């Protein structure tokens, strides 16, 4: 009747941008990500047989409007699969700035999928849990697993994430929180607009499979330089695709560009560092674990008082028990 789960955000090295099917949350392309070991989301789901609607809170604040609707729709899906009409109470605690492009919905829906399926008595395989999490938020399919993860495009049955073996490859990420406020446009709407209006979207979809093959090969030979170069290039292409939308979707601000300069300067100075940017202005820097201090020092020198988060590879979703 009650279950608690914890999940971590993930950062894509080959991005998910654009859906093939909105209702089923099927992506237009595969994507590949690193699950982080920072900023977990902890979610408790408790069934409430007396209630006539789902209730949810976020760090103690009741959820309302569209946010509550999204969680309720997801809970309805889980309840339906369990053959139940019982409503649930959801309590979520999240340590990450919401809506700042730090993939909070990935950790949130991965934790919710695990806690809700357990509370409703569904015993799902990791793969089916990933398929379920996908329905809450696409990128949540990836946070079901730890480390490097590939999420497959496909139909409802075939679109799930799975972990990738990466022997000998140690990755770290320095997140520069350049703006922690809510982003101007949510990624869901931004993707929709890109798919509908950007003449570059077709080129994006066509280019991802080759980039994925190259990324998989770079991971298999533990080639951090190639992994970083491919990740940075893929992120630039994703943003180019959305800049082609009408009206354009631009998440970058002046500090975003300045941070890209810092990363390029790191490389010129022999510090291997590569940038990636999601649906927000923040820049995440991929590097070796032993380079995080040097990268953080460079970012601090460029941006006084900037908040920096340093992450390594993190675990998949975990049930903490009732």
Query: Cα(34)–Cα(21) distance, rounded to whole angstroms?
Result: 24
Query: Cα(52)–Cα(33) distance, rounded to whole angstroms?
Result: 38
User: Sign (positive/negative) of CA torsion 21, 141, 187, 236?
Assistant: negative
The binder of ligand 2P0 chosen from 4, 5, 16, 242 (CB under 6 A):
16
The binder of ligand 2P0 chosen from 211, 229, 232, 278 (CB under 6 A):
278
According to the binding rule CB under 6 A, does residue 194 interact with ligand 2P0? no
The binder of ligand 2P0 chosen from 4, 41, 187, 234 (CB under 6 A):
187
Quote the tokens at residue 283: 């820049």
According to the binding rule CB under 6 A, does residue 41 interact with ligand 2P0? no
Query: Which spans in the chain are helix H?
Result: 65-81, 104-119, 126-136, 140-143, 187-197, 201-220, 224-243, 254-268, 292-302
Residue with Cβ nearer ligand 2P0 (281 or 291): 281
What's the order of all strands across the beta sheet hosting 283-287?
273-277, 283-287, 172-177, 307-311
Quote the tokens at residue 120: 């409703």
Shortest Å distance, C-beta 85 to ligand 2P0: 26
According to the binding rule CB under 6 A, does residue 150 interact with ligand 2P0? no
According to the binding rule CB under 6 A, does residue 159 interact with ligand 2P0? no
The binder of ligand 2P0 chosen from 108, 138, 228, 314 (CB under 6 A):
138
Shortest Å distance, C-beta 66 to ligand 2P0: 12
Residues paired with 31 in a beta bridge: 151
Binding positions for ligand 2P0, 227-246, rule CB under 6 A: none
Name the one range near ligand 2P0 by CB under 6 A: 44-52, 137-145, 222-230, 286-294: 137-145
The binder of ligand 2P0 chosen from 4, 43, 94, 139 (CB under 6 A):
139
For residue 194, give the 3-state DSSP assignment.
helix
Shortest Å distance, C-beta 40 to ligand 2P0: 17
Closest CA to 176 of 119, 246, 101, 251: 101
The binder of ligand 2P0 chosen from 6, 7, 12, 218 (CB under 6 A):
12
Pairing of strands 19-21, 26-27: antiparallel
User: Sign (positive/negative) of CA torsion 240, 245, 251, 253?
Assistant: positive
Query: Cα(227)–Cα(21) distance, rounded to whole angstroms?
Result: 29
Shortest Å distance, C-beta 2 to ligand 2P0: 26
Q: Which residue is nearest to ligand 2P0 (CB)?
A: 138
Shortest Å distance, C-beta 24 to ligand 2P0: 11
* DSSP state at residue 240: H
The binder of ligand 2P0 chosen from 279, 286, 295, 309 (CB under 6 A):
279
Name the one range near ligand 2P0 by CB under 6 A: 8-16, 71-79, 159-167, 296-304: 8-16
For residue 179, give the 3-state DSSP assignment.
coil
Please give the residue ranges that form the binding site for ligand 2P0 (CB under 6 A). 12, 15-17, 25, 31, 103, 105-106, 137-139, 187-188, 278-279
């Amino acid at each position: 009747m009650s279950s608690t789960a914890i999940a971590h955000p993930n950062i894509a090295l080959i991005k998910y941008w654009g859906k093939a099917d909105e209702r089923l949350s099927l992506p237009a392309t595969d994507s590949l990500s690193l699950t982080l070991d920072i900023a977990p989301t902890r979610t408790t789901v408790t069934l409430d047989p007396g209630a006539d609607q789902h209730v949810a809170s976020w760090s103690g604040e009741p959820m309302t409007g569209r946010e509550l609707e999204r969680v309720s729709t997801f809970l309805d899906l889980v309840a339906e699969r369990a053959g139940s009409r019982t409503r649930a109470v959801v309590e979520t605690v999240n340590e990450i700035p919401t809506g700042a492009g730090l993939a909070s919905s990935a950790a949130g829906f991965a934790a919710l999928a695990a806690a809700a399926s357990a509370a409703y008595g569904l015993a799902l395989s990791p793969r089916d849990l990933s398929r379920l999490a996908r329905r809450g938020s696409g990128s949540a399919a990836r946070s079901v697993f730890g480390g490097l993860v590939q999420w497959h495009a496909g139909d409802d049955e075939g679109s799930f994430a799975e972990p990738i073996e990466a022997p000998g490859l140690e990755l770290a990420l320095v997140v520069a929180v350049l703006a922690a406020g809510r982003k101007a446009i949510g990624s869901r709407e931004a993707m929709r607009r890109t798919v509908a209006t950007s003449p570059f979207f077709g080129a994006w979809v066509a280019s991802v499979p080759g980039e994925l093959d190259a990324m998989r090969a770079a991971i298999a030979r533990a080639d951090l330089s190639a992994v970083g170069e491919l990740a940075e290039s893929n992120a630039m292409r994703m943003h180019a695709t959305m800049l082609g939308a009408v009206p354009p979707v631009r998440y970058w601000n002046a500090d975003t560009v300045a941070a890209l300069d810092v990363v390029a300067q790191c490389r010129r100075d022999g510090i291997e560092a590569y940038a990636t940017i999601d649906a927000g202005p923040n820049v995440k820097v991929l590097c070796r674990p032993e380079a995080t201090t040097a990268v953080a020092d460079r970012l601090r020198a460029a941006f006084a008082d900037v908040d920096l988060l340093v992450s390594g590879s993190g675990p998949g979703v975990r049930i903490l028990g009732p």
